[in-house]
Chains A and B, each alone.
Chain A
């Protein structure tokens, strides 16, 4: 494993981490503030990508696709909130799981019915199409660098929003003690809707950013949803800071693990055995990590709620 390969894999890991953070941020806020487990968050990521593809067909530019895609993700998120989710806030987790599972089935299938099962792509914006010499002999696509930068910018923005603004303060207070916030006379319903729409938009944003480098296909959000769950469990439910840190850790561990597990296994095993065992170990790594974190800290790295 050369240094260049390692550098590339590290960047790829960061990039996955950033995508995971964008998805996990909404998920962890929605859970922290509303005590609501939303399995359909992954399909919101998928919708972002599909809406962008559709908007690209109309506008012909990536930026048009980005803006319309975000607006679409927001609208659908709010629509789902009003139609379904708000009726589930005071239900138990099992009901929430089932209803949002139903929405996943529906939206995955709807996407299949509308756009078909064949993977689609979203062209990169021309400005960002090209490569960048990071170090000697290491070319890295500009778009991927831009993705990482954009993600970091959103993380900073989110941090400022949550820690410096009034709404952010309410969200933080809501994550710790919703009844208290309601007692202060805050319209909790509006706050919930706001957080929800925002989370849906973030997931959609992640989907749009991912569209040019990953394939756009039905069910693309499902696996990322599980990874996002791992992220918020490790980070501590309700904590943006925890989600950010855990997303980067999970992104790096998963990517580097897949990149190098077979090579590492070869140190101890015969090449053919290593080829068998390596990928299996790599796919387990983040779950082992999660189990280890939970074993020592049952409420994650940065528990937002006491106890």
Chain B
């Protein structure tokens, strides 16, 4: 009986062994089938999102539309985290910072009278990209648990900075008196238009993330997750690839943040607490690591579960906390593994 924790052998990356056995158990043909299944699940999700406003109009349920917007926004953030967590094994515990940075970029610009997307979009991407580049350059020098703690610390740094921005509401947050304009037009203030714009951004981000995963770049990223030493031996230094992936993920989450600010017409430091970062990780893992469609499903299930449980009791976390522990201890592969057509549990 040995309960020795596997001390990280020096030549492999710490998270490497996680995914490997799953991949190994798969038959050779399964790779392409897995992609088809992934596509089908994503298409189904998008179709449901597209039909939802129609359904909601029939039921005269406006809450449903608001709620679905929230789900889609967090799905974008989860997809962005999934890119580095699921495919690069980079456990970033500060991802909510980008949600907040994106939201604050839009809101602060609006506060100063810059409402148009032609300004707010580039600024948001630039701010998030820069923050990711600078902090990522430091974080990615470290491995394993150091990486987790440092991303967490930088996330907190962003959070505390936001709370101390007294000119922009500090702790209380900042109200945006309207929504981002598109070339001077206020079309986003129409709820349905805004809804479909969010859906469009979600689809765009999902497709982009999938292309990246399947590209040469994506192969390097996934290779580095399995064996850093092997990559060095064939002449690839994983550092720069991870950094670029980290920046892409940060910008994508920033985009989600910008949409979040628009959806609520309000921003607050609460968007970037470390609990939020933890929840993003939960969404990705709940959906299934290594699946981008899974992250969408994960985000949706998390928020629906939160919504349902909070109807049962105000203290819904009393149920959700142990549920999470059980999922970690006994669930493998996340919700994607439960959807038919996947690999059988062996």
Which residues of A come within 8 Å of B, CB atoms?
A: 31, 34-37, 39, 84, 86-95, 97-99, 101-110, 112-113, 177-179, 182, 188-189, 192, 222-223, 226, 229-230, 232-233, 237, 275-276, 279-280, 282-284, 287, 290-291, 294-295, 298-299, 307
Q: Which residue of chain B is the closest to A280 with respect to CB atoms? A: B164
Docked CA distance A41–B91 (Å): 19
Please pick, from B3, B148, B163, the residue contacting A189 in the complex, using a CB distance under 8 A.
Answer: B3
A99–B325 contact, CB under 8 A?
yes
Tell me if B149 is interfacial: C-beta within 8 Å of chain A: yes
Contacts of B281 in A (CB 8 A): 94, 97-98, 101
* 10 smallest beta-carbon distances between A and B, as pairs: A106-B321, A102-B324, A283-B160, A109-B317, A105-B321, A279-B164, A287-B157, A35-B5, A99-B328, A102-B325
Contacts of B135 in A (CB 8 A): 291
Please pick, from A97, A105, A179, A307, the residue contacting B93 in the complex, using a CB distance under 8 A.
Answer: A97
Tell me if B323 is interfacial: C-beta within 8 Å of chain A: yes
B318–A283 contact, CB under 8 A?
no
Tell me if B187 is interfacial: C-beta within 8 Å of chain A: no
Q: Which of B152-170 contact A (CB under 8 A)?
A: 152-154, 156-157, 160-161, 163-167
Docked CA distance A87–B329 (Å): 8
Stretch at the interface among B7-15, B38-46, B290-298, B337-345: B7-15
Tell me if B216 is interfacial: C-beta within 8 Å of chain A: no
Which residues of B come within 8 Å of A, CB atoms?
A: 1-8, 10, 14-15, 17-18, 85, 91, 93, 135, 138, 141-142, 144-146, 148-150, 152-154, 156-157, 160-161, 163-167, 274-275, 278, 281-282, 285, 315-318, 320-325, 327-329
Contacts of B144 in A (CB 8 A): 93
Given A178-B4, A226-B156, A287-B157, are A99 and B10 neighbors across the interface (CB < 8 Å)?
A: no
A-B contact pairs, 11 of them (CB 8 A): A39-B278, A84-B325, A90-B4, A92-B14, A92-B15, A101-B281, A103-B325, A287-B156, A291-B138, A294-B138, A295-B138
Given A97-B281, A102-B323, A295-B138, are A290 and B153 neighbors across the interface (CB < 8 Å)?
A: yes
Please pick, from B85, B166, B317, B327, the residue contacting A105 in the complex, using a CB distance under 8 A.
Answer: B317
CB distance from A255 to the nearest CB of B (A): 14
Given A105-B317, A276-B165, are A92 and B18 neighbors across the interface (CB < 8 Å)?
A: yes
B148–A97 contact, CB under 8 A?
yes
Docked CA distance A51–B107 (Å): 43
Docked CA distance A104–B164 (Å): 26
Docked CA distance A101–B141 (Å): 25
B315–A112 contact, CB under 8 A?
yes
B282–A101 contact, CB under 8 A?
yes
Q: Which residue of chain A is the closest to B320 with respect to CB atoms? A: A105
Contacts of B321 in A (CB 8 A): 102-107, 109
Given A90-B5, A182-B4, A283-B164, are A233 and B153 neighbors across the interface (CB < 8 Å)?
A: yes
CB distance from A191 to the nearest CB of B (A): 10
A276–B167 contact, CB under 8 A?
yes
Q: Which residue of chain A is the closest to B322 with respect to CB atoms? A: A106
Docked CA distance A295–B141 (Å): 8
A37–B161 contact, CB under 8 A?
no
Q: Which residue of chain A is the closest to B3 with respect to CB atoms? A: A189
Given A101-B282, A237-B145, A276-B166, are A94 and B161 neighbors across the interface (CB < 8 Å)?
A: no
Docked CA distance A283–B320 (Å): 32
